[in-house]
A and B are shown apart, each in its own frame.
Chain A
Amino acid sequence: MADTSPSTVIDARGSYCPGPLMELIAQIKLARIGDILEVWATDEGSAKDIPQWARKVGHEYLGTETVDREWHVRVRKSK
Chain B
Amino acid sequence: MKILVVGGGMGGTIVANNLARRLQRELRAGQAHIHMLSASERHMYQPGLLYVAIGRMLPDELYRDQRSLLDPAITFEVDPVEEFRFDRNQVRSKSGRTHEYDAIIISTGSRIAPEAIPGLAEHSEIFYTEEGALKLFKRLSGFSGGRIVVAVGVPHKCPMAPLEITFMLHDYLKTRGILDKTQLHYTYPIGRVHSLENVAKWATPEFDRLGITYETLFNMKEAKAGVLLSEEGSEAAFDLLIAIPPHRGMEVIERNKLGQGGWIPTNRHTLQMEGAHRNVYVLGDTTNLPISKAGSTAHFEAEVVAENIVAEWKIGGPVRQYDGKVFCFIEASDNRATYAMFNYNQPPQPRAPTQSVHWFKTAYNRLYWASARGLL
Contacts and interface: CB of A to CB of B under 8 A. Distances in A.
Nearest to B326: A17
A52 B268 CA distance: 28
Nearest to A14: B344
Interface string A9-33: 0111111111111110110011000
Contacts of A20: 290
Interface string B260-280: 110000001000000000000
A15 B155 contact: no
B324 interface: yes
Given A14-B345, A22-B195, A30-B260, 7 more contacts: A11-B290, A14-B324, A18-B159, A18-B292, A22-B189, A25-B189, A25-B219
Interface residues of A, number: 24
B154 A16 contact: no
Contacts of B155: 18, 22-23, 26
25 contacts: A11-B290, A13-B344, A14-B324, A15-B290, A16-B196, A16-B348, A17-B195, A17-B292, A18-B154, A18-B291, A19-B190, A20-B290, A21-B191, A22-B154, A25-B154, A25-B189, A25-B190, A26-B154, A29-B116, A29-B154, A30-B260, A53-B190, A56-B217, A56-B233, A57-B232
Interface of A: 10-23, 25-26, 29-30, 45, 49, 52-53, 56-57
Interface of B is mostly: loop
Which residue of A16, A20, A26, A56 has the most chain B CB atoms within 10 A of its CB atom? A16
A59 B299 CA distance: 37
Which residue of A12, A15, A30, A52 has the most chain B CB atoms within 10 A of its CB atom? A15
Contact of B159 (A13, A17, A25): A17
Which residue of B155, B190, B344 has the most chain A CB atoms within 10 A of its CB atom? B190
Interface of A is mostly: helix
B190 A22 contact: yes
Nearest to A15: B290
Given A17-B196, A22-B155, A26-B155, A10 B190 contact: no
B231 interface: yes
- Which A-B residue pairs are the 5 nearest by beta carbons? A14-B344, A15-B290, A26-B155, A12-B290, A19-B195
Contacts of B290: 10-15, 18-20, 23
Nearest to A57: B231
Nearest to B345: A14
A76 to B, nearest CB: 16
